[in-house]
């Protein structure tokens, strides 16, 4: 019996997918995390090792590539799912461990729990990720499938109810999708937190028959990789979200703007589009209805500013990727002059979940003004780096200490940088700020792209600002005065400060200029570029002053303000390691046998400090007022 | 929709064409607002020079008047502490990247920068920002005019005249950030480009970047 009801068509597709996936699960499976983060850690080698070992032992087991499960610190990672056992995740894999797992677990019946990170299903034998301290705080919505499904097999997604939200929506009026997204108060995850529903509604109100849906996967922030992970690990979730948006606003064509440096994401998304088209989930008459919609990938040129909405459109239209003044908004005049909805990867990824579980469910997670979850890439001085997803409203302290496992080696927390080059640095006193769009904004940071860098006493706040300003100054498109010339002067001033230059007026002028660039620039690149400066001036002014007034870098980072010194009581006399490590032959042996550094020759490369054996640790960095006796004499 | 709207600028009530941009509405009524990059005929404003700020009642921050369409009942101020501060900074930033040797410049006394300085009481010799020093090659290849990039303020007037008035398409913007320049295709000397050798550029340039060789003598 054939039926044209999208739900019936979908059920049939789902049941077939499930049967196929289940039949695969009858035999053991090795799921390997081969998103870009895993590949960087050697996951492809691990994959090959598994395939080889399994073949050599003549076992019947399948090796499947999945995406990123977020525990990047323990990569390469694999999950072994063998009937009769809970699926178990293993980390830090190498050839030896692979050999052992294949022999003992796949070949025998010993899951080698001593090497396991966690089980993935509750069981009586071994703890799961939810039993980790971080599991209590984490809540995976859009990362739920990441690392557990085969991104290149659409059945993997469909068997987990994927595309059921679309099937349901197609039995209702487009208006119903819009109302649900509006009621959910879904806010854009590309940085600014603008309500997606209002954007969609504006595009509907603009009228006309030609409308576009575009997914912003430009992700240019240094260190950010969550959009890439989602596209690589669960592309259909984003595609389904875009189709739902297209249905709601009445669009026939959409694009994913993916940066060309993401070849894996591009491949996975292209495969996903092709498979969805084959199943009648994209193209004409989607799921047997009269709704037509198709998707194409547009590979971005790579400039950071192309992530900005109007610059992205210009670049898609073949012009230079430069921002334009708004209004008109994209919702009324976007791609090819037509009403356009542009949303971030994550924003679209929430949509199928909202349609599936309802707006009320979504609003029950997170805070009233910022419902849902926040996805961060946790990096820097934190034990568990990786992708995390927590409900909005979680405090920074919980995120860093409970989810991230705190700073390694019990080091002291100094600051957390949130939101990348457009974000800000927050101090200890701000750790109880809840993570949501508005609270972070008030504290001077932004949610931004979700990069979160934890810093300790060894990080210099002036150097951090300089680092981000180097980035924004380099990425300025040059169209407007404040950003083109203003970022240059701000950067020059920061460079001066890291060299101890400046006077009583320097900080005042820097702050004034930073405020003017924020208020006067044409687009958000320029408007947010001063944030790292403004927040560090607000919370860490003393550190700036130490550089200017005392010629001192308290974190011992700024090269021009530090020097290397070999502490006589610690030097072994018998070892010569530092002498050989120095590229400029600045280290010599004194008459008494101790080593000393000729400060004139030293280029501060840090080699000798790294080379000095840990049992001595005789080489130290110093910054005024602490100076070695020889220097003090010189100063006097 | 009526054809005219009433707005108030600096306490003066004026009647202006609906759909007009605020900057032109003000200038038409002899109310001065500094500007370099605005082009009346251009549908989508450049909005790059950031000199035309005003404060509009109800807005939380100053807005560029070249991008704002007039609305009936709009109340506008061209001089407020916030506007003056932004305009001064934008202007001084431009000056910090401009070859400020007025006495050697063919545009001396006929220069938009000098006008802005005078009208707004801002010194041309600003002291806040270090001068950005760069080397540019002088292009004297055309017969009648020359191009000195060290004076260019990137207003885009010449690019517009070239594209939309002369319809040659010989010059355009190239490069990003601080390296942004007006140049020919492949950065060739003007005389070797498909530049029609008309003198439009020198006519529209508000400073002394494109200039008549005669005037420089
Ligand atoms: C310089 C700059 C870069 C940006 N880069 C991105 C990006 O990589 N990805 C993104 O989703 N949004 C980026 N944005 C924000 C977009 O302009 C736009 O607000 C966003 O894509 C809208 O989606 P949302 O409402 O779902 O957040 C950037 C903005 C600026 C000013
Ligand atoms: S703020 Fe910067 S990136 Fe944005 S338009 Fe101005 S110069 Fe270009
Ligand atoms: S050459 Fe003159 S007209 Fe052309 S952009 Fe430069 S300042 Fe403007
Ligand atoms: S005239 Fe408005 S920004 Fe240049």
Measured between CA atoms, how close is B199 to chain A, in angstroms?
Answer: 25
Helical (H) or strand (E) element with A203:
helix A196-205
Q: What is the pLDDT of residue A3?
A: 59
* CA-only gyration radius of chain A, Å: 27
Residue A2 has pLDDT above 70, yes or no: no
Best mutation site among B54, B66, B78 for ligand 4 pocket (most ligand atoms within 8 Å of CB):
B66
Question: Would you mind telling me the total number of residues written for chain A in this entry?
Answer: 636
Name the average pLDDT for chain B: 93
pLDDT of A35: 87
Using a pLDDT cut of 90, give the percent of chain A over it. Answer: 78
B67 near A CB under 8 A: yes
- pLDDT tens, residue by residue, B141-194: 988 899 999 999 999 999 999 888 888 888 999 999 999 999 998 888 888 887
Please state, in angstroms and rounded to a whole number, the distance separating the CA atoms of residues A436 and B176: 34
Cα within 13 Å of Cα(B76), Cβ side: 29
Among B44, B49, B89, beta carbon nearest to A324: B44
Probe target for ligand 2 pocket from A220, A321, A322, with the most ligand atoms within 8 Å of CB? A322
pLDDT bracket for residue A316 (50, 70, 90): very high
Q: Please judge whether B178 and A488 are an interchain contact, meaning their C-beta atoms are less than 8 angstroms apart.
A: yes
Q: Does B61 touch chain A (CB under 8 A)?
A: yes
Confidence of residue A611 (pLDDT cuts 50, 70, 90): very high
As beta bridge partners, residue A377 has: A387, A451
Q: What pLDDT sits at residue A632?
A: 55
Residues making up chain B, counted from first to last: 217
List, by residue range, all CATH 3.10.20.740 domains of chain B: 15-92
Q: What is the CATH number of domain B15-92?
A: 3.10.20.740
**Ligand 1 lined by A188 (C-beta under 6 Å):** yes
Chain A residue with Cα closest to B130: A489
Q: Report the candidate in A348, A326, A304, A306 with the shortest Cα–Cα distance to residue A188.
A: A348
Question: According to CATH, where is 3.30.70.20 located in chain B?
Answer: 96-216
Residues 6+ apart with CB under 8 A from B101: none
B197 band by pLDDT with thresholds 50, 70 and 90:
low
Residue B24 predicted with pLDDT over 90 = yes
Tell me the per-residue pLDDT of A199-235, one tens digit each, with 9 for 90 and over: 999 999 999 999 999 999 999 888 788 899 999 999 9
Torsion sign, CA atoms A170, A174, A176, A179:
positive
Query: Between residues A523 and A626, which one has the greater pLDDT?
Result: A523
Task: Tell me where in chain A the CATH 3.10.20.600 domain(s) lie.
Answer: 373-459
Closest chain B C-alpha to A472 CA, distance in angstroms: 10
Which residues sit opposite B181 in a β-bridge?
A: B174
Does A619 contact ligand 2 (Cβ within 6 A)? no
> Considering only the top CATH level, what class is B96-216?
alpha beta
CB atoms within 10 A of CB A343: 26
Question: Does A628 have pLDDT greater than 50?
Answer: yes
Contact at CB, B96 and A485, closer than 8 angstroms: yes
Mean pLDDT of B98-121: 95
Domain A162-363: assigned CATH number: 3.40.50.11540
Per-residue pLDDT, A450: 81
CB contact under 8 A, A325 and B64: yes
Give distance in angstroms: CA of B158 to centre of ligand 3. Answer: 5
The yes-or-no verdict on residue A370 having pLDDT over 50 is: yes
Question: Contact B86/A303, CB-based, under 8 Å?
Answer: no
**Ligand 1 pocket member A536 (CB < 6 A):** no
d(Cα A571, Cα A587) in Å, to the nearest integer? 13
CA nearest neighbour of B142 among B90, B194, B85? B194
Quickly state the pLDDT bin for A121 (edges 50, 70, 90): confident
- Which pLDDT score, from 0 to 100, does residue A247 have? 98
The CATH 3.30.70.20 domain(s) of chain A lie at: 562-635
A residues 473..502 contacting B (CB < 8 A): 473-482, 484-486, 488-489, 492
Ligand closest in space to the Cα of A322:
2
| Ligand nearest to the backbone CA of B156 | 3
Distance, CA of B38 to CA of B49 (rounded, Å): 9
The CATH number fitting domain A11-132, selected from 1.20.950.20, 3.40.30.10, 3.30.420.40, 3.90.550.10: 3.40.30.10
Supply the residue whose CA is at minimum distance from atom 29 of ligand 1: A308
Question: In the predicted model, is pLDDT for residue A125 greater than 70?
Answer: yes
CA of A308 to the centre of ligand 2 (A): 10
H or E segment to which residue B5 belongs: strand B4-9
Average pLDDT over residues A496-517: 96
Q: What is the pLDDT of residue A225?
A: 86
**Are the beta carbons of A476 and B48 separated by less than 8 Å?**
no
Domain with CATH 3.40.50.11540 in chain A: 162-363
Distance from CA of A263 to the nearest CA of B (A): 25
Residue A120 has pLDDT above 90, yes or no: no
Q: Provide the pLDDT for residue A1.
A: 43
Determine the topology of domain A562-635 in CATH: Alpha-Beta Plaits (3.30.70)
- Spacing, Cα B174 to ligand 4 middle (Å): 20
Which helix (H) or strand (E) covers residue A295, if one does? strand A294-300
Instruction: Please compute the mean of the pLDDT values over residues A390-413 and round it to a whole number.
Output: 93
A301 touches chain B (CB under 8 A): no
Which residue bears the tokens 């009481």?
A: B121
- A636 pLDDT tier (thresholds 50, 70, 90): very low
Is the entire prediction scored with pTM above 0.90?
A: yes
Q: In A, which residues are within 8 Å of B130 by CB distance?
A: 489, 492
Q: Give the CA dihedral A414, A135, A420, A151, nearest 10 degrees.
A: 150
Q: What is the mean pLDDT of residues A419-447?
A: 92
Kindly give the pairing relationship between strand A116-119 and strand A88-90: antiparallel
A262-311 per-position pLDDT tens digit: 999 999 999 999 999 999 999 999 999 999 999 999 999 878 999 999 99
Q: Give me ligand 4 centre to Cα B62, in Å.
A: 13
Selected for mutation to probe chain A from B44, B51, B93, B132 (highest A CB count within 10 Å) is B93
The protein residue whose alpha carbon is closest to atom 6 in ligand 2 is A480
Res B1 pLDDT > 80: no
Ranges A223-227, A334-338, A545-549, A558-562: which has the least confidence: A223-227
Contacts of A474 in chain B (CB under 8 A): 177
Closest CA to B123 of B92, B82, B79, B80: B92
B129 and A CB contact within 8 Å: yes
CATH tag for A462-550 (out of 3.40.50.150, 1.10.10.410, 1.10.3720.10, 1.20.1440.230)? 1.20.1440.230
Average pLDDT, chain A: 93
A and B: number of Cβ contacts within 8 A:
87
Please state, for a pLDDT cut of 70, what percent of chain B lies above it: 98
> How far is Cα A332 from Cα A328, in angstroms, rounded to an integer?
7
Q: Give me ligand 2 centre to Cα B57, in Å.
A: 26
Interatomic CA distance for residues A214 and A231, integer angstroms: 14
Q: Which parts of A358-421 fold into alpha helices (H)?
A: 359-363, 396-397
Note the pLDDT tens digit of each residue in B5-19: 999 999 999 999 999
Q: Which letter does DSSP use for residue A412 in this model? A: P
Cβ neighbours of residue A106 closer than 8 Å, sequence gap 6 or more: A28, A30, A54, A57, A59, A61, A80, A82
Give the ipTM of the model, two decimals please. 0.96
- Residue-level pLDDT at A8: 95
Q: Which of A228-242, A328-342, A561-575 has the lowest mean pLDDT?
A: A561-575
Asked if pLDDT for residue B77 goes beyond 80, the answer is yes
**Any idea which ligand is nearest the CA of B162?**
3
Whether residue A631 is predicted with pLDDT greater than 50 in this model: the reply is yes
Q: How confident is the model at residue A635 (pLDDT cuts 50, 70, 90)?
A: very low
Contacts of A3 (CB under 8 A, 6+ apart): A9
Distance separating alpha carbons of residues A203 and A198, to the nearest angstrom = 9
**Which fold is adopted by the domain A373-459?**
Ubiquitin-like (UB roll) (3.10.20)
**Residue range(s) of every CATH 1.20.1440.230 domain in chain A:** 462-550
Mutate to test the pocket of ligand 4, among B26, B39, B49, B53 (most ligand atoms within 8 A of CB): B49
From chain B, pick out residues whose CB is under 8 angstroms from the CB of A525: none
Residue closest via CA to ligand 2's atom 4 equals A523
What pLDDT digit, counting tens, does each position of A452-501 carry? 999 999 999 999 999 999 999 999 999 999 999 999 999 999 999 999 99
Which residue of A lies nearest to B87 if distances are taken between CA atoms? A520
């Amino acid at each position: 019996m054939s039926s044209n009801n999208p739900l019936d068509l979908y059920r049939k597709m789902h049941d077939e997918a499930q049967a196929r996936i289940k039949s695969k699960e009858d035999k053991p499976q090795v799921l390997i995390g081969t998103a870009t983060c895993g590949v960087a850690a050697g996951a492809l080698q691990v994959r090959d090792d598994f395939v080889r070992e399994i073949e050599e032992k003549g076992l019947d087991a399948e090796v499947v590539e999945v995406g990123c499960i977020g525990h990047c610190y323990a990569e390469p990672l694999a999950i072994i799912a063998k009937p009769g056992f809970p699926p178990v995740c293993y980390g830090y894999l190498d050839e030896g461990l692979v050999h052992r797992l294949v022999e003992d677990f796949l070949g025998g019946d010993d899951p080698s729990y001593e090497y396991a990170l966690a089980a993935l299903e509750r069981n009586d034998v071994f703890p799961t990720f939810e039993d980790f301290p971080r599991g209590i705080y984490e809540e995976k919505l859009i990362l739920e499938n990441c690392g557990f499904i085969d991104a290149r097999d659409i059945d993997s997604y469909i068997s987990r109810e994927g595309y059921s939200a679309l099937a349901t929506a197609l039995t209702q009026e487009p208006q119903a999708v819009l109302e649900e997204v509006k009621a959910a108060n879904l806010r854009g995850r590309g940085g600014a937190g603008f309500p997606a529903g209002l954007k969609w509604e504006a595009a509907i109100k603009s009228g006309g028959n030609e409308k576009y849906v575009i997914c912003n996967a430009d992700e240019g922030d240094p260190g950010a990789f969550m959009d890439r992970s989602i596209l690589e690990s669960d592309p259909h979730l984003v595609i389904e979200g875009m189709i739902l948006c297209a249905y709601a606003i009445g669009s026939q064509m959409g694009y994913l703007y993916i940066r060309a440096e993401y070849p894996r994401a591009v491949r996975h998304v292209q495969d996903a589009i092709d498979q969805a088209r084959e199943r009648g989930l994209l193209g004409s008459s989607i799921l047997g209805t009269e709704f037509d919609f198709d998707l194409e990938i547009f590979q971005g040129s790579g400039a950071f500013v192309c992530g900005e909405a109007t610059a992205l459109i210009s670049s898609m239209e073949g012009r230079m990727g430069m921002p334009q003044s708004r209004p008109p908004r994209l919702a009324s005049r976007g791609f090819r002059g037509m009403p356009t909805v542009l949303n971030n990867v994550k924003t679209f990824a929430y949509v199928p979940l909202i349609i599936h579980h309802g707006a009320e469910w979504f609003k029950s997670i997170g805070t009233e003004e910022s419902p849902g979850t926040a996805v961060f890439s946790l990096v820097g001085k934190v034990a568990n780096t990786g992708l995390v997803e927590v409900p909005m409203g979680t405090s920074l302290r919980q995120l860093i200490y409970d989810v991230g496992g705190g700073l390694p080696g019990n080091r002291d927390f100094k600051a957390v940088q949130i939101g990348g080059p457009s974000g800000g640095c927050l101090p200890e006193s701000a750790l109880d700020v809840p993570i949501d769009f508005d609270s972070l904004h008030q504290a001077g940071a932004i949610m931004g792209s979700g990069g979160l860098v934890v810093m300790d006493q060894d990080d210099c706040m002036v150097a951090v600002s300089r680092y981000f300003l180097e980035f924004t100054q380099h990425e300025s498109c040059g169209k407007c005065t404040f950003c083109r010339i203003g970022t240059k002067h701000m950067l020059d001033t920061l460079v001066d400060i890291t060299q101890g230059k400046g006077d009583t007026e320097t900080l005042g002028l820097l702050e004034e200029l930073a405020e003017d660039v924020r208020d006067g620039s044409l687009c958000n690149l320029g408007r947010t570029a001063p944030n790292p400066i403004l927040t560090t001036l607000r919370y860490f002014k003393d550190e700036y002053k130490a550089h200017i007034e005392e010629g001192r870098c308290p974190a011992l980072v700024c090269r021009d303000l530090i020097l290397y010194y070999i502490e006589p009581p610690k030097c072994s006399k018998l070892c010569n390691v530092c002498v050989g490590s120095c590229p400029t032959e600045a280290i010599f042996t004194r008459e008494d046998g101790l080593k000393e550094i000729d400060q004139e020759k030293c280029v501060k490369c840090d080699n000798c400090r790294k080379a000095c054996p840990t049992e001595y640790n005789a080489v130290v960095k110093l910054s005024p007022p602490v100076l070695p006796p020889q220097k003090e004499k010189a100063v006097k | 929709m009526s054809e005219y709207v009433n707005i108030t600028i600096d306490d003066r009530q004026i009647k202006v064409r609906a759909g007009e941009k605020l900057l032109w509405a003000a200038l038409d009524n002899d109310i001065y607002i500094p500007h370099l990059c605005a082009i009346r005929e251009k549908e989508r404003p450049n909005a790059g020079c950031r000199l035309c700020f005003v404060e509009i009642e109800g807005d939380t921050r100053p807005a560029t008047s070249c991008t704002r369409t007039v609305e009936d009942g709009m109340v506008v101020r061209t001089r407020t502490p916030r506007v003056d501060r932004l305009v001064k900074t934008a202007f001084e930033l431009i000056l910090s990247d401009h070859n400020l040797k007025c006495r050697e410049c063919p545009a001396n006394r006929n220069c938009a920068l000098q006008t802005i300085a005078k009208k707004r009481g801002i010194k041309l010799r600003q002291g806040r920002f270090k001068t950005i020093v760069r080397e540019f090659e002088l292009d004297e290849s055309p017969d009648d005019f020359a191009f000195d990039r060290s004076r260019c303020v990137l207003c885009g007037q010449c690019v517009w005249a070239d594209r939309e008035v002369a319809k040659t398409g010989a010059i355009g913007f190239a490069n990003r950030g601080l390296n942004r320049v007006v140049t020919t295709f492949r950065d060739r000397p003007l005389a070797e480009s498909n530049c029609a050798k008309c003198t439009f550029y020198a006519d529209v340039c508000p400073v002394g970047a494109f200039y008549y060789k005669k005037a420089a003598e």
